[in-house]
Amino acid sequence: MCDDQKTNVITDLGMKQVLGSLSETLEQPEGACLAHPMFGSDIQRFLTDEIPDHQPGEMVRERVAYSLGDLADDVERFSYNLLTRNQNLPYQCIVGVKRGGLVLTERLHMTCGAPGHHPIFYSRNLEREFRNEALYDRGNRQILLVDDILDTGQTLNQIITDICEICNLEVPGQIEELVVLTIHRSSRALAALPQLVLKPYPIKIRLLHAREIDADTWIDYFWEVDRDTESTTSGS
């Protein structure tokens, strides 16, 4: 059955079953443990400030703190999953999306990346900060794409399309799989998944996330909160 036929016959329930197999939530295997010297032995979990006052009648979104300790846990699980699937071989090409995916990208490079091959990035404006050749000139057949959250899917859809177009035009057939990793996947992403995984890309797309959240949840990532605190301090 071709992709167009699959799309036509998928019901709401069927869509959830299909997408469930294409978008995976990390599971921690029993007894699995990886060393992460970059975090140190005593991880201080970050606590966010109080939720600011809101206007009467304004919807209050649930806020969840994402700490350095949470990052350490997710890096461990991502690394175990990725290296297990790749027969413990390092990944030659890791692509991050600034600014949300910057921290996770750097950490995964330390645990899963090939020595001497630095990660490459898309800017906040989704512009390439690398030469096209950096996606494939290491002879790699896989690319890791890293961001903090999959929500509406617009950002990742644009980047996935760009990567696929580059690789299909310049090295057709070399890149076999693009693994898209995000810390969070919101419930709103269910509507975006068909566009990401059922499009006729020339490269297999695999989605992997560590945590699921409701669409109305606001995540306070520790690197964003730290940045806001520094800006407030410097301006006072």
H-state helical runs in 23-67: none
The domain spanning residue 154 has which CATH number?
Answer: 3.40.50.2020
Q: How far is CA 7 from CA 28, 80, 107, 124, in A?
A: 32, 33, 37, 32
Host H or E run for residue 73: helix 68-85
Q: Is the pLDDT of residue 107 over 50?
A: yes
> Is 111 among the domain residues?
yes
Q: Distance (Å, rounded) from C-alpha 17 to C-alpha 5?
A: 16
Q: What is the pTM of this model?
A: 0.74
> Is 9 among the domain residues?
no
The confidence score (pLDDT) of residue 110 equals: 95
**30 token code pair:** 């029993």
Q: Provide φ and ψ at 183, rounded to 5°.
A: -65, -50
Give residue 142's Cα distance to chain centre.
15
Which of 3 and 39 is assigned the larger pLDDT? 3
> Is 92 among the domain residues?
yes
Q: Is the pLDDT of residue 87 over 90?
A: no
Are the C-beta atoms of residues 145 and 179 closer than 8 Å to each other? yes
Query: What's the first-to-final CA gap in the chain, in angstroms?
Result: 63
Q: Is the pLDDT of residue 53 over 50?
A: no
Q: Distance (Å, rounded) from C-alpha 70 to C-alpha 94?
A: 21
Domain that holds residue 178: 15-24+63-212
Which of 95 and 115 is assigned the larger pLDDT? 95
* Counted domains in the chain: 1
> Is 152 among the domain residues?
yes
Rounded to the nearest integer, the mean pLDDT of the chain is 77
Q: What number of other Cβ atoms are within 10 A of residue 50's Cβ?
A: 6
